Amino acid sequence: MLIAIPLLFIPVAFYAIVVLSGWMGTGGGVAAAEQALRDPLFSIPMVSGSGWNVGTGDLILFLGLILLFFELLKSTSSQKVAIVNHALSMILFVFCLVAFLLFPGFATSTFFLILTMVMLDVLAGFIVTIISARKDLEFGAG
């Protein structure tokens, strides 16, 4: 049953942990939460001589993109657990949308991109399910 849990829950949870720990940290407030997402964790030297600074928000987005790929692969499954996954993905999307609209620490570009990934997962899941059901219906009618 763990396969029914949307993988995109992981970056949402990481984001919430980073924002809430930055919000309740020493500086407090939304500015501290946004700064916690932007502060570079490490820098990768480039051939051009400059450094590529990678922050917490960047890593969360990278993880989200990788997990979105696997969620899209899962959405092509026609198992019964896929319906539960679609429903949980919709609940996650509603939660993310409410958080984005109502909580100041979640009104950032990083969380908006996470919200967009969750929305794409929901849309892909429903579209793939509808198309596969339509093909099953056409096949059964003949």
pLDDT band at 134 (very low <50, low <70, confident <90, very high): low
Q: What pLDDT was estimated at residue 29?
A: 67
For 94-131, what is each residue's pLDDT tens digit?
999 999 999 888 988 999 999 999 999 999 988 887 88
**pLDDT value at residue 125:** 86
What pLDDT score does 28 carry?
Answer: 62
Tell the burial category of 8 from Cβ atoms under 10 Å away from its Cβ (0-12, 13-18, 19+): buried
Determine the pLDDT at residue 138: 59
pLDDT band at 32; cut points 50, 70, 90: confident
What is the enclosing helix (H) or strand (E) of 45?
strand 40-45
**E strand or H helix that includes residue 125:** helix 109-141
pLDDT digit string (tens) for 56-83? 999 999 999 999 999 988 887 767 788 8
